[in-house]
Structure 1
Amino acid sequence: MGKVKSLRLPEGARVGSYRIVRPLGRGWEGEVYAVKEVPTEAERAMKLISRENVDSARHVTHTAWFFEQVASSRSVARYYHMGQWFLDDNEGLFYLVFERLNGPILKYYLADVGKKRLLTETHALHLLHRIAEAMGRVHVLGFAVGDSHGENILITGDAEDPRPMFCDLDPGEPDKPNKDFQRDMRELVTLARQVLRITHTSSRTKDALRHLRTAAKRPVSPETVMALGEQMAAW
């Protein structure tokens, strides 16, 4: 299944209490736009989801519920509310409104710092530590992240103090929220490879990656990644 077809909403188009500013990206379920709330002009991010891309309305409400459950982790974009935008039928589109996060997507952040050779070994390990820390804060609430890849993580903050934020999650299914901690651990290993491969390879980085791979082969509890994050801080 590929990415959804763009809605091509023009700047200024009205969706509920929001006006479209510009598109931010598309995924396999919906399209995200930067919007401004009317009349406050507050900046938000809106994810528009077609009914044909979800099993039922329950899936969307479950996603909203899931974001609300993990809000206190401070690792995800803050969820505000959901709604339905009717077009010329009785189905329309669902939308979820989130905090507008500012910062590059991890995939492009790594490409940029790699090209400029700005990511030192210490900075790379610190960034990896912060990603694990953000994931661990979700885990200790009893939920998994899912889809932890380079296009679903934004890097806020600055180069000295990057703060990774998950801008999208795999919420699981209604009545069965995502608690696949083992999958998250495997995805953390993949992220570690992506982060560490653009810096100088040393025994330090090799040991860090080896440690993560070993941990991913063992049973993972909600506290595992948080404990790993604490260990990474010492690397």
Structure 2
Amino acid sequence: MVLSQNIAYRNGFKQTQAISVNGVGWNAYRNIISELPEGRSVRVDYYRGTLTLMSPSRKHEKANSLLTRLIIAICDELKLDVESLGSTLWQSQAADSAIEPDSSFYIQNEQVVRDKETLNLDSDPPPDLAVEVDITNPSLRKLPIYAALKIPEVWIYDGRVLRIFHLQQGAYVEAQTSLAFAAIPVRRLPEFLELGQSEGMSAAVAATRRWVQQLLAGGA
């Protein structure tokens, strides 16, 4: 096995630490996962022999928490059932891949998985939407993992811009609109995320709700 370590710094302070190990077989990956403590803050991803462990920063987690709340608020206003599964570990031995998104959601397929206590990507649909917050650690490298797991839509938010990716013929293509929220220009969500930074989460959620209501009423 080959170990590599990457530590991201911003303004002189350590933000995110990532450790990658190459040459890890599926069984070894499963053994490592089983030894990790419950309630850990470390995110895990695995792709065809490479295992990466990443410790997200507080700033990263705060942005992720707010974005999750905004997505749920949009679903509420659109009267869409949603199951938010956070950083659930999604894995498939057949795809030799696994990942813990920052957030994941069933929206279009919520009813399909509603009564299931456990989910298996070899027989159940993958989450409809996965979100990565990219403030201190690049997330584009994770797209092949998501593609292997056949997750149809991935958002990447870098602290300023929200990028949307749709899975098409086994690869991601950047898009302007969301598959989950076709009628909502979700690329404007960073405006409400910035509001959350200055005025708090509740103010951002309330503003997002008003915005969606205006859109539904035919406003700008």
- What is the TM-score with the length of structure 1 in the denominator? 0.29
Structure with the bigger RCO (C-alpha within 8 Å, sep 6+) is 1
Looking at secondary structure, tell me which structure has more strand per residue. 2
